[in-house]
Amino acid sequence: MKKIIRIERDKRNFQLSWCINNICTNHCTYCPDVLHRGTNHNYDWNIVRGFIERLFDTHSKIHCSISGGEPTVSPHFKEAVDMFYDNGHTVGITTNGVKPEKYWREIGPKLAYACFSYHPQYKDANYLTKAQAASEGTIIKCRIMMDTNHWDDAVDVYNRAIEMTSRGKYTWSVEPVKVLPDRANRDLKHMGCDYTDEQIQWIVDHAKTYHHSGGKEKPFTAKSTFYYDDGSIESGNTNYLIATKQTDFRGWKCDIGIESMFIDHTGYIKKGNCNQGGKQFHINDHLNHSLPSTAEICTIPVCGCNTDVLTSKVKVPLAGLSK
């Protein structure tokens, strides 16, 4: 198998990833308790407004990816969307789609995209209907969590979403997502990620599936160029790369902190979702700190976040680290 030697991210947008809260309508076994059994917010919203305005003053173009918890249950979620949208920046979200169809029709036009995650442990009979409603105003990514404890249901929803796109009516992609184990919990069966060889092969065979129709264009691209050791160049598919274990970048120089920033559910600023470089400062205290500005040498065994994978990085020799 050819190997990646460099990744170059499209630098037109500074990437802000924001885990806006730690409360959720679901309590999936593969999700850490801290992300769905919290108290919604761990920061002062008035201070957060000032921090966002500081980012606006620093970067001419920002794309903000909002997740949770479930971001739409945050009382500040719509205001956050409006702040980015009204100031000429873009915002996309990751959601379980819990809100009703009317909600998605109203907020969809302000979103660059919406990742609609389907969690088969909490079956939502209206999942695809709500994705359709949101697709009237934005681009939808149907991300089907391939929970091994509910495998047949996950495959069924995947197939129905693919069938709907084949009719040419909806603007969305359909992606099967391999559930990654929580580092603090190794009970793979409990978490729904004790994959058989056949299930892994199914994910690999379908990981490059991308269906898109309708011709909608949004003013945001999260694209990166992947350079390989055989001289080939590709756009890259993060789900496929993660599923086939090609995202071990230990020893690489990664531009998290320069191209990107992450606000975690506790309100701490980090360079990336992977926690490389650790916590920088709490958002409530941001005025006493400089914004992150230096790259990192990766020490994380698996780069499992799409945004982190897409961040510019290059393989460099580093003594003491081995693959």
Rg (Cα) of the chain, in Å, rounded? 19
% residues pLDDT > 70 (the chain): 90
Give the pairing of strands 260-263 and 268-270: antiparallel
More confident site: 317 or 62: 62
CA-nearest of 144, 207, 208, 134 to 171 is 134
18, β-bridge pairs: 66, 263
Cβ–Cβ contacts within 10 Å for residue 215, how many?
6
The whole-number pLDDT of residue 306 equals 85
- Tell me the average pLDDT across 295-300: 94
Q: pTM for the full model?
A: 0.83
Do 151 and 193 form a contact (C-beta atoms < 8 A)? no
Note the pLDDT of residue 322: 41
Does residue 268 carry a pLDDT above 60? yes
Q: pLDDT tens digits, residue range 61-112?
A: 999 999 989 999 999 999 999 999 999 999 999 999 999 999 999 999 999 9
Lowest mean pLDDT among 105-119, 154-168, 225-239, 260-274: 154-168
165 pLDDT above the threshold of 50: yes
d(CA 180, CA 243): 9
Instruction: Give the residues across from 176 on adjacent strands.
Output: 144
**C-beta atoms surrounding 237 within 10 Å:** 18
Output 157 or 223, whichever has higher pLDDT. 157
pLDDT for res 216: 56
Which tops the pLDDT comparison, 35 or 323? 35
Residue 248 in tokens: 């071990």
